[in-house]
Each structure stands twice: as structure tokens, then as C-alpha cells.
Chains A and B, each alone.
Chain A
Amino acid sequence: MNENKDWPLWEIFIRSRAGLNHKHVGSLHAADEDMAIENARDVYTRRNEGISIWVVESKYITASNPEDEESLFDPADNKIYRHPTFYDLPDEVKHM
């Protein structure tokens, strides 16, 4: 076997507390998914940072292209009617 090859790269997601989403914390190399979880535990949760770990091999992540940022996200800028503050209500209505 050749040593010219790194172990695959994995992206690590950690749920820090019950009720929260898993959040990306970084990446690491591991030979397989079991080792990725074990390594993630040692690298990213030495101080109770998590109660659950997801690992995904980096090559399976599809990301939006940074150059498309404007075309993807700018259209939301002028849709202020999607926010509650857009609507005029009488002051008497306290909570809505």
C-alpha cells in the first residue's frame, strides 16, 4: 500500500446540547467512518463540547459557489414584507 495517500478527510458536526442543531466544527482525517467518530470525539469533544457527532466524508459535500452569492441571496434583500415589522397595526394590539 502506498504512503502517498492521506486517509480521507471528514467534516465533523457536533450537537453540543439536547435541543440544538449539529454544527460544523472542523475536519479531520480517518481511515473509515468509525475511526472518524472516535477521532472526532478525541479532537473536538475533550471538554464536554458535545453529546452527539455526525461525520461526513468531505468529498460528499456539495457547496454553493461563492461567486453566486449575489444571485442566490440578494433577491431576499428587498422582500421586507417577509418580516413582521413591515405590517402597520394599531398600537392597541400589544402582542402579535
Chain B
Amino acid sequence: MSESSMLEIFEEKIKREIKIEPREWMPDAYRKTLVRQISQHAHSEIVGMLPEANWIKRAPTMRRKVALLAKVQDEAGHGLYLYSAAETLGTSRKTMIDDLLSGKAKYSSIFNYPTITWADIGAVGWLVDGAAIMNQVMLCRTSYGPYARAMVRICKEESFHQRQGYEIMLTLAQGSQEQKAMAQDALNRWWWPSLMMFGPSDKESKHSAQSMAWKIKRKSNDELRQNFVDATVPQARLIGLSIPDPDLKWNEERGAYDFGDIDWEEFWNVVKGNGPCNKQRLDDRNKAHEEGHWVREAALAFAEKQAKRKAKKDKVA
């Protein structure tokens, strides 16, 4: 079949909402975009464990500790689903991990901010997972089958993440003066970086239009950001916290909140590696990888020995 007729079939499928599956023909650029996006998404899940793991041992109660532990374990699972989805496109796990460890691959910049108080764990669950959910719910309808299926599984698991975070914020907001101040301080620090999670504005986003045409993305960055603001502002009010944005205002005509300008300079600065924790995150990942080296080696040696033994036994029998 000629390339142009394969392209026609591909485009027809996209148009008719038929998922693209691993071994089917797809344009190179579609494949490349997916590998980049899915592996970045996987890296974000993995690096995203670090700021939260920071508090597992210091969680204030057993209830909080088991919940946080389960959440962080889920994030590891999300990373694994996504790496597997990316591998169906022909890349290897090793290539992706190497790119993460060398700093060549990107992950969500939000994880380059520190979690300095317990309230930050509340803010991360509520806002960061909340923003991630907005994006991931949309991606359940993405055009590439394995990515969409991974997203459905992830979305099912995410809702407890956000609820446990919001519950932490609620508890602090109803607590002592200090606890309430701690919750407000966490919201102040995480609000703007959370809005940046949706990426550059539509005017600036270089990949957006093509991704929308291929139905990899189903909503634009600005649309998702607006949805997030509209969903989150009432949640903050409900627990008596205020959003750190003097320009935030309900717009009757649009039926949505107007909000202030995002500091894109800060955004690009963190993307380029100059955020508060970029170096620490990469160092921690590299250290974990190196320390796991002997485990990987031993497991493989053991597997080879077992296989040899089994082959010998089969021969005798």
C-alpha cells in the first residue's frame, strides 16, 4: 500500500474516532509526538513521587501515612502504565530512563518545587493532582489506544489522591490559627505553579494545534486551565482559604472566572532547569537508579540460573 493511501486510512480513523493501535501505520511525527508526550508523562509520575515521599515518615497520623503511602505507590504504578504504553510505539524502557537520568527528557515542572510543610502535601494532592486530573480525564479520549487505556486506569485511581489532599487542607483550615496559616501559605505557594502545569498559553504553544488535529489532545491548554480555575476556586472558598490572585473575579458573561496573568518568565526558568529543586530531583533519581543496580543485576543472574536449572531438569525428565 502506498504511503498516501495509508495516511488516508489513518486520517479517516482519527476523524471517525477509531483508536490507533500499536502495529498500525501512523505518520512518523504522530509517533514521535506520542513517544515524547507519554514518556514525559511517565517521568512526571516517577519524579512526582519525590516531593511527597519526603513526608511519608513524618505524616502526622497513621491514617495520613497509609493514605500517602498508597498514593505514592499509585504514582509509581502510573509511571509504569505509561512507560509500557510508550514502549508499544517502539522506544525502549532503557532509552526513556537514560533520557530522564541524563536530564535530556523533561517532566512536569511542578515537581521542581519543594514540599516544606505538611500542608504542602495537602496542597499537592488537592491542586497538583487536581490539575493532573483535568488533563488526564481529557486524555482518556486520546486517539492512541494504549495511552487512552492507561489514562482510564489512572483516572480511576486519581480521585482518591485529590480527595486525600483536600481533606488535609480542610482539616488544617479548621484547626488552630497556625494550622490555618500553614494551609493558606501552602495554597499561596502552589496556586500559580499549578496553573502553569497546563503549559504555555494557546498562542505560545508550539505543539498544540497539531496535537489537537490528531486528537492526541482534546482540549487546549487555556481551556483546561480555565476549567481548573472554575472548579477549584469554590473549593478554596468552602474551606475558608483565599486564592492568591487579586485579579480573580467571576465573569457573569463568560460564566467563568477571570484570573490574573501568569508569570511565564518563572515558568520558562523552571523548565530550563533553574527551579528550586531541579538538581535535587535529578540527583535523587540518579542515586536511586545507581543504588538499584546490584538488585537488577542479581535478579537477572538469578533468573538465568533458574532457567538453566529448569532446562536441565526438563532434559532429564
Contact = CB atoms under 8 A, between A and B. Distances in A.
B80 A32 contact: no
A5 B80 CA distance: 17
Contacts of B302: 31-32
The residue in A27, A31, A66 that gathers the most chain B C-beta atoms within 10 A of its C-beta is A31
B81 A29 contact: no
Interface string A20-54: 00000111110110010000001100110000000
A32 B87 contact: no
A6 B93 contact: yes
Contacts of A65: 23
A71 B113 CA distance: 55
Interface stretch (B52-60, B278-286, B293-301): B293-301
A27 B92 CA distance: 13
A27 B94 contact: no
Interface size bracket, B side:
20 to 34
B24 interface: yes
Nearest to B23: A66
B216 interface: no
Given A7-B296, A35-B303, A29 B93 contact: yes
Contacts of B146: 26
Interface string B1-41: 10000000000000000000101110000000000000000
B63 to A, nearest CB: 18
A7 B23 contact: no
Given A6-B93, A28-B84, A32-B307, A1 B300 contact: yes
A31 B299 contact: yes
Interface string B76-93: 010011001101000011
Interface size bracket, A side:
20 to 34
B222 interface: no
Contact of A66 (B21, B73, B84, B301): B21
A4 B293 CA distance: 12
B80 A4 contact: no
Nearest to A27: B84
B77 A43 contact: yes
A92 interface: no
B28 to A, nearest CB: 17
A75 B204 CA distance: 49
A42 B124 CA distance: 24
Nearest to B20: A66
A32 B157 contact: no
A29 B93 CA distance: 9
Contacts of A32: 299, 302-303, 306-307
Contacts of A31: 296, 299-300, 302-303
Contacts of A1: 297, 300-301
7 contacts: A1-B297, A3-B296, A9-B87, A28-B84, A32-B306, A35-B303, A46-B74
10 closest pairs, A vs B, by CB?
A32-B303, A31-B299, A31-B303, A66-B24, A27-B84, A6-B93, A6-B94, A31-B300, A1-B297, A66-B23
Given A7-B296, A46-B73, 20 more contacts: A3-B293, A3-B296, A4-B94, A6-B93, A6-B94, A7-B299, A26-B81, A26-B85, A26-B146, A27-B87, A31-B300, A35-B303, A43-B80, A43-B81, A46-B70, A46-B74, A47-B157, A63-B23, A66-B23, A66-B24
